[in-house]
Amino acid sequence: GKTAAFAIPLIEQVRVGTQELQCLIVTPTRELAVQVAEELNQIGRHKGVSTVPIYGGQDISRQIRSLKKRPQIVVGTPGRLMDHMRRRTIKLEQVRMVVLDEADEML
């Protein structure tokens, strides 16, 4: 319900032919990151939009392999996103949209 409210317009804005990270969604928990990524993958599948979840508690080398596939959307928790930024395994130069999901929980 609520995820679809931002996911559908967001997916419509993604440039499908471009294999670069265009949207970053930040969630407070890994459970929410997985849930949002699954919903975005379902909604975006017909349009060829790929989404990858990035969160702590999961093998980082697996996440790096997923990021090398150049998804258009990344959903992640703040700590693990910062970790990838420090390692330079996530590149934000082409990000045009940022969503703070449940921002009140992160503050």
CATH code for the domain of 68? 3.40.50.300
On whether residue 6 sits in a domain, the answer given is no
On whether residue 35 sits in a domain, the answer given is yes
Q: Residue 68: what pLDDT?
A: 96
Domain that holds residue 72: 26-106
Residues 6+ apart with CB under 8 A from 64: 84, 87, 89
pLDDT digits (tens, 9 = 90+) for 61-92: 999 999 999 999 999 999 999 999 999 999 99
Q: How many Cα atoms within 13 Å fall on the side-chain side of residue 16?
A: 8
Q: According to DSSP H, which parts of the chain are helical? A: 2-13, 30-44, 60-68, 78-87, 103-106
pLDDT digits (tens, 9 = 90+) for 22-35: 999 999 999 999 99
